[in-house]
Amino acid sequence: METLHDIAKEVHDCRKCPLFKDATHGVPGDGNEKADVFFIGEGPGAEEDKQGKPFVGAAGKFLNEMLESVAWKREDVFIGNIVKHRPPNNRDPEPEEIIACLPYLERQLAVIKPTLIVTLGRHAMHQFLPADFRISQEHGKVFRRHGRLYVPLYHPAAALYHGGLRQTLIEDFQKLPKILKKAKSIGHEENK
């Protein structure tokens, strides 16, 4: 069985799409191999590209605050992205770039087998949940799809730029521990 380390090594050497050309570092994602919760952002920004780590810029600081507010540690969860190299000028990733990169995310999910997947922003949401979902309608709700459990949230960067979303995101985040607890207890029953 492969490890997160194996996948990270491949990401660092990845040439499957052109994004590596303008990037400084690949950003495979970071966290616990046994995480119950897997957060998925869109792609590395400037600071993430510099450090090779996910969510270490302004959005990451806000994510850290929200994790602390529910007494979760970064080391206990896993934080990844749809694409692993920074799109130039933080543009949206192209569909071909996403298609090239998604197998890494699927392999990380297969290793970790999280109880809960939290998508951050509409791009991450649309990789896993229906195309007609609107983040303004579906944020903070729980969806079961193909045997996986998802909660789509607003992206922390969007909440930083649109102050009105900040409180909504904070409130949605507060629901996560209870959702996880319930999911784990149901999973436990199902496995008996």
Per CB under 6 A, does 100 bind ligand URA? Answer: no
Nearest distance from C-beta of residue 81 to ligand URA, angstroms: 5
* Continuous segment of H or E residues that includes residue 167: helix 163-174
- Which among 36-44, 92-100, 108-116, 143-151 is the span making contact with ligand URA, rule CB under 6 A? 36-44
Positions in 42-71 near ligand URA (CB under 6 A): 42-45, 48, 54-55, 57, 59-60
Nearer to ligand URA, 82 or 183 (CB): 82
Tokens in use for 76? 């206990």
Q: Could you tell me where the DSSP H helices lie in 79-155?
A: 95-112, 122-128, 135-138
Among 17, 35, 81, 93, binds ligand URA (CB under 6 A): 81
Nearer to ligand URA, 26 or 183 (CB): 26
Nearest distance from C-beta of residue 27 to ligand URA, angstroms: 6
Per CB under 6 A, does 152 bind ligand URA? Answer: no
Residue 80 backbone dihedrals phi, psi, to 5 degrees: -135, -170
Torsion of CA 108, 139, 130, 180, to 10 degrees: 40
**Contacts for 165-170 with beta carbons within 8 Å, 24 or more apart?**
168/139, 168/140, 169/66, 169/139, 170/66, 170/69
User: Which residues of this chain interact with ligand URA, rule CB under 6 A?
Assistant: 41-45, 48, 54-55, 57, 59-60, 81, 157
